[in-house]
Structure 1
Amino acid sequence: MSEQQPLLSVRDLKVAFKVGKTMNEVLHGVNFDVYPGETVAIVGESGSGKSTTMHAVINLLPGTGRITEGSVNWNGRELVGIHRRDMETIRGREIGLVPQDPMSNLNPVWSIGFQVEEAIRANGLANGRKEVKERAVEVLQQAGLQDAEKRMKQFPHQFSGGMKQRALIGIGLAADPQLLIADEPTSALDVTVQRVVLDHLGKMTSERGTAVVFITHDLGLAAERAEKLIVMYKGNIVESGPSREILQHPQHPYTKRLVAAAPSLASRRIGSDAELPPAPTDSFDVSTLAGGDQKNVAQGEPMIEVNGLGKVYKIRKGNFGSEEFHAVSDATFTVKRGETMALVGESGSGKSTIAKMLLQLETSSSGSIKIAGQEMAGISGKRLFDLRRTLQPVFQDPYGSLDPLTNIGNTIMEPLNIHKVGDRASRRERMYELLDQVSLPRDMATRYPNELSGGQRQRVAVARGLALKPDVLILDEAVSALDVLVQAQILDLLAELQRELGLTYLFITHDLAVVRLIADRVCVMQQGRIVEQATVEEVFENPQQEYTKNLLAAIPGANIELGMEPGDHVPHLRKRTDGEGPFAGQAPTGLPSR
């Protein structure tokens, strides 16, 4: 590879963002090469400069971001200072991008098909309506989207997060670029679709000599899919080299912490030896939902009871007709107080639809839901308002679930304001306490969502979900956007709160390694139906369904041993307050200790 000329050569790259009148440097002289056909993974925690580095390469820095020094050489051509029109001919055709956030990168008023076709036309890949449409269908099929021709007529809001991400991958690959920058390309995808997409990327790389740069927080994916690994921390590259070598024998203390924090199938339940506390006496009394006077739900009694739950949507067809789509069919499960139930399955299997019905954001077509013994059918007015206080969501998409016009402090305080909890000073204090809990600096309270990375936004969403100290948290892919260190911290935090307050969690995820860490029981969903339901141990050690076996087999890096030095502790298995282990005395995100 040394005889080859690099496709992309980055030297001493420095990037700064203007804050007021001062320039705040976020990249401090980054150097790396990408060769033709090579797959490189850039890993690091949220805010370490991974996305900024690659966005600087293609001149897509947000807001006030500027390259202040350094060189970006593409195929022997200098890109720093290049004319905007010249850059636009390179972007898309020569360098493709799969952006991180599918919500804000697809136009909500245009159909998916129109947007893919527009990208194909813009890159001059096909001529004539028929040819463009055929190429668009082919592109979506390559990205792993089933029924591509039928789906072309649908709009982004009718797609799940994973399906939107697949459409973006299709657009990114449409022009057969020489280099594809994939920014968290599969963080919204379930493991089986992730495998389809990554296999396709791998095939494309070998056949056409396309280079791929993955920006990811998934170490398993980096180990399995990338030849070279670049580890970033606070705007610097701290370690780089062959990926497996680095992950099996990490040298830098930061890389060792990353590897130690990565969840794996060998992990055990956080706090699995801890006892459940008695029912809290000071929490919101769920029995007020029905205006009854019964006592709080006792330990081990059913908190969420779902029986025969179904949801049917009507999908429009041509000639003003419509057809029925069964998103959820005959779902039945029970979650006991203080227990964590994980709902797993592919994208579009109905997991989030169940969450929406539990939260009364969607009405069920059939079946019943009981929360703490109270029937939810027809609940409205004050009873629904009270339910909102005991049952809080953390939504999947940290870009779409935060108001861009509201600062972080007010976002976290919003539930406290709506439910009139305490006075203004106590709400502020609670907000700062929550920022501490999710390891965000207190000065972030005055910042806005567009100034935060995806992982930081997700931490804000978790903080808002915890604000009212609810009895039940419904977590829809709550840690999928987080890097492993913050993920470890949030999972620890959730486990600790569960032990202290006896919280009940419904955890919706496609990351089965995380399920192993956080859940007691698992429901496996396929095409709207629960096909397997058992304890975590039973599902992982003796899966009954072929579908479940495929889900487990598709986990990236499942068979790769990550390096652990003798005496290293996996932080998941310790309480954060014990003052030992790799995080002792420091915030795991590189923020100041508190």
Structure 2
Amino acid sequence: MTTPQEGRAAMNEPLLSVRDLRVAFGTKKQPNEVIHGIGFDVYPGETVAIVGESGSGKSTTMHAVINLLPGTGKITDGSVRWNGRELVGVGRREMESIRGREIGLVPQDPMSNLNPVWSIGFQVEEAVRANGLAKTKKEAKARAIEVLEQAGLQDAERRMRQYPHQFSGGMKQRALIGIGLSASPQLLIADEPTSALDVTVQRVVLDHLETLTSELGTAVVFITHDLGLAAERAEKLIVMYKGNIVESGPSREILQDPQHPYTKRLVAAAPSLASRRIGASAALPAAPTSTFDVAALAVAESRQTKPGEPVIEVENLRKVYKLRKGNFGHEDFVAVDGANFTIRKGETLALVGESGSGKSTIAKMVLQLEKPTSGTVRIDGKETGSLSPRELFELRGKLQPVFQDPYGSLDPLRNIGNTIMEPLNIHKIGDMASRKRRVDELLDQVSLPRELATRYPNELSGGQRQRVAVARGLALKPEILVLDEAVSALDVLVQAQVLDLLAELQRDLGLTYLFITHDLAVVRLIADRVCVMQQGKIVEQATTEEVFENPQMEYTKNLLAAIPGASIELGHGRSGDHVAHTPLAAPGAAPFAGGGQAGANG
């Protein structure tokens, strides 16, 4: 039996200790080092957030810890100690006994990590059995229902019979979280665990993770680009930039008083924090004239442009799916129920609501990827349901999507250049030379290096893939863009650039946007009007200011209250002013070494 003294001593020992870790991709003759000798500790029950822009090495670091590096990736130097045991160089069988049972993983991509031919229930039950948590089929099913409910999936028993394609992105993410938590691991690595979740479900999931850490001593490492989430949920923050840790220490301390210039840029660009002070005062301090300053952009854009004629008109739109039941029966599931809204030329309408509320289904019906059960969609006065194939093809030229899933919507066998060029080829725009120039121009617009044109999707990070999806959506210079969670997978700096780009294109070209998102902080920056959806119905519709300043429905109030970091006064009072002025203060500040020097930057 462990004595209280031994228990306290164990708590002082790190669960995970990383020292001088170096990771490289490529061959021995031509290695490309991506992680440059980093170190940190994670203690039992501790919550650590690793933040940084896409491609900074966040996911690579934690995948190296559990020996899940893709392709040619390998640890070239350093030490990874787990419960005092060295993991670098251990055998495959030993590592497999640790993964899942002792160290759980919630992967970043909910789309490609679920098998499309198996039901959700089968896949969760399989994980439960693989981790030795159930002896019988009945026990496995009961545990599977329990973990899915813990992960915030309503009506879990019925939903288990569905397949991944019948789940929204957020629902798939919850299924993966359920699988990750199924063995009650000592450490849970959560790679962007809530990027596909709406704020209310995000709160349910994060509250559950918090309960785990306090009751079971489970440590959590969040890999996230949401600084609001990091400030609210993590005790310790690690900021990564180009494979190095540039700053680490207590989360709120760093976010209220960032020392490193890169951290200052992150804080300045974060809509989850900046949205607290947008429009709060017309006389916003002379903010740095950085391309990343979305807050300044949103204030400067007082939305004086007057919207024109109606472009998209949705009337009494309804979509009913048939769900399989036992004994070859079916039951109706109403995904969208009587939706009505109009979007005028040059306007941005945001559809917000919980995952599974019907937002993406409406987008698919507007894009003519799904047929409505009833109701009409008119674009430029023409009813889309009665268009001929030729008219539909012409409509596709001016109505372009940016899909929620940057993994599944990119062809893995087609390189990035050809992916972006595909709409130009299909619509026969220009010759090959002009198409290549357009690809280069689009890569520049979404801040991707032109060399990526010859790479393939599996060689890019999640954020880079999302930028490719945005570039492809812009290729034809469309009049209308339907953006389904278009910035949810992006780090705050790139998110700021993409939102800036979208606002600029809208100003210059009079573009119209249907913007679907669960990130209310982004809504405040980009949208003119907001439709709030709940269980397939639009429950509130008003201007962005009205919704944020004076929400009418209890549901809308709950959505706003659940924004990560909303309760942290970083944008108000003394600390808020500090963040607002941070990028101007001490521009040459040296990197912050972080709490103690137990291991480089840990």
Q: TM-score, normalised by structure 1?
A: 0.91
Task: Answer yes or no: is 1:184 the counterpart of 2:198.
Answer: no
Q: How much does 1:374 deviate?
A: 1.4
Q: 1:272 corresponds to which letter in structure 2?
A: E
Which aligned pairs between 1:518-557 and structure 2 lie closer than 5 A? 518-557=526-565
Q: How much does 1:275 deviate?
A: 4.9
Task: Answer yes or no: is 1:354 the counterpart of 2:365.
Answer: no
Q: 1:265 corresponds to which letter in structure 2?
A: R
Q: How much does 1:266 deviate?
A: 2.7
Question: Residues of 1 paired with 2:101 and 2:435: CA distance?
Answer: 51
Correspondent of 1:65 among 56, 73, 76: 73
Question: Residues of 1 paired with 2:93 and 2:28: CA distance?
Answer: 29
Aligned residue in 2 for 1:114: 122
Which aligned pairs between 1:512-591 and structure 2 lie closer than 5 A? 512-562=520-570
Question: Residues of 1 paired with 2:64 and 2:373: CA distance?
Answer: 49
Q: How much does 1:267 deviate?
A: 2.3
Question: Residues of 2 paired with 1:582 and 1:316: CA distance?
Answer: 62
Q: How much does 1:559 deviate?
A: 2.2
Q: String of CA shifts for 1:300-354, please: whole Å, max 9, x gaps.
A: 1101111111111111111221111111011000001000000000000000000
Question: Residues of 1 paired with 2:476 and 2:173: CA distance?
Answer: 32
Question: Residue 385 of structure 2: SS of its match in structure 1?
Answer: coil
Q: How much does 1:272 deviate?
A: 2.3
Question: Residues of 2 paired with 1:153 and 1:334: CA distance?
Answer: 36
Structure 2 residues not aligned, in runs of 5+: 1-7, 280-297, 588-602
Question: Residues of 2 paired with 1:387 and 1:270: CA distance?
Answer: 34
Correspondent of 2:161 among 153, 159, 163: 153
Correspondent of 2:266 among 255, 258, 272: 258
Question: Residues of 2 paired with 1:152 and 1:308: CA distance?
Answer: 30
Q: 1:19 to 1:561 in 2, by over 3 A?
A: farther
Q: 2:409 corresponds to which letter in structure 1?
A: S
Q: TM-score, normalised by structure 2?
A: 0.90
Q: How much does 1:381 deviate?
A: 1.1
Aligned residue in 1 for 2:207: 199
Correspondent of 2:249 among 241, 246, 251: 241
Aligned residue in 2 for 1:273: 302
Q: 1:477 corresponds to which letter in structure 2?
A: E
Q: How much does 1:12 deviate?
A: 0.1
Question: Residues of 2 paired with 1:238 and 1:567: CA distance?
Answer: 18
Q: 1:216 to 1:582 in 2, by over 3 A?
A: farther
Q: Kindly report the root-mean-square deviation, in angstroms, between the aligned alpha carbons of the 2 structures.
A: 1.9
Question: Residues of 2 paired with 1:14 and 1:343: CA distance?
Answer: 43
Q: String of CA shifts for 1:424-443, please: whole Å, max 9, x gaps.
A: 10000000000000000000
Correspondent of 1:363 among 367, 371, 376: 371
Which aligned pairs between 1:125-524 and structure 2 lie closer than 5 A? 125-263=133-271, 264-268=275-279, 269=298, 271-273=300-302, 275-276=304-305, 300-524=308-532
Question: Residue 304 of structure 1: SS of its match in structure 2?
Answer: strand
Q: 2:313 corresponds to which letter in structure 1?
A: E
Q: String of CA shifts for 1:74-103, please: whole Å, max 9, x gaps.
A: 001000000010000000000000000011
Aligned residue in 2 for 1:294: none
Question: Residue 33 of structure 1: SS of its match in structure 2?
Answer: strand
Question: Residues of 2 paired with 1:569 and 1:387: CA distance?
Answer: 46
Q: String of CA shifts for 1:91-149, please: whole Å, max 9, x gaps.
A: 00000000000111111111111111111111101111111111111111111111111
Q: String of CA shifts for 1:222-267, please: whole Å, max 9, x gaps.
A: 0000000000000000000000000000000000000000112332
Q: 2:149 corresponds to which letter in structure 1?
A: Q
Q: 1:18 corresponds to which letter in structure 2?
A: G
Question: Residues of 2 paired with 1:276 and 1:409: CA distance?
Answer: 35
Query: Which ranges of 4 or more aligned residues in structure 1 deviate by more than 4 Å?
Result: 563-571, 580-583
Question: Residue 315 of structure 2: SS of its match in structure 1?
Answer: strand
Question: Residues of 2 paired with 1:501 and 1:19: CA distance?
Answer: 47
Question: Residues of 2 paired with 1:182 and 1:331: CA distance?
Answer: 35
Q: String of CA shifts for 1:456-488, please: whole Å, max 9, x gaps.
A: 000000000000000000000000000000000
Count the aligned residue pairs: 554
Paired residues of 1:143 and 1:200 also in contact (CA < 8 A): yes
Q: 1:274 to 1:146 in 2, by over 3 A?
A: closer
Q: 2:125 corresponds to which letter in structure 1?
A: E
Q: 1:370 to 1:401 in 2, by over 3 A?
A: same
Aligned residue in 2 for 1:289: none
Question: Residues of 2 paired with 1:420 and 1:271: CA distance?
Answer: 38
Question: Residues of 1 paired with 2:432 and 2:585: CA distance?
Answer: 38
Aligned residue in 2 for 1:575: none
Q: String of CA shifts for 1:516-563, please: whole Å, max 9, x gaps.
A: 000000000000000000000100000000000000000000122336
Question: Residue 326 of structure 1: SS of its match in structure 2?
Answer: strand
User: Relative to structure 2, which stretch is displaced further, 339-348 or 256-265?
Assistant: 256-265
Question: Residue 489 of structure 1: SS of its match in structure 2?
Answer: helix
Q: 2:154 corresponds to which letter in structure 1?
A: Q
Q: String of CA shifts for 1:30-64, please: whole Å, max 9, x gaps.
A: 10000000000000000000000000000000000
Q: 1:387 to 1:19 in 2, by over 3 A?
A: farther
Q: 1:41 corresponds to which letter in structure 2?
A: A
Q: How much does 1:581 deviate?
A: 12
Paired residues of 1:315 and 1:325 also in contact (CA < 8 A): yes
Paired residues of 1:260 and 1:564 also in contact (CA < 8 A): no
Which aligned pairs between 1:4-153 and structure 2 lie closer than 5 A? 4-18=12-26, 21-153=29-161
Paired residues of 1:92 and 1:175 also in contact (CA < 8 A): yes
- Percent of residue pairs identical: 79
Q: 1:113 to 1:19 in 2, by over 3 A?
A: same
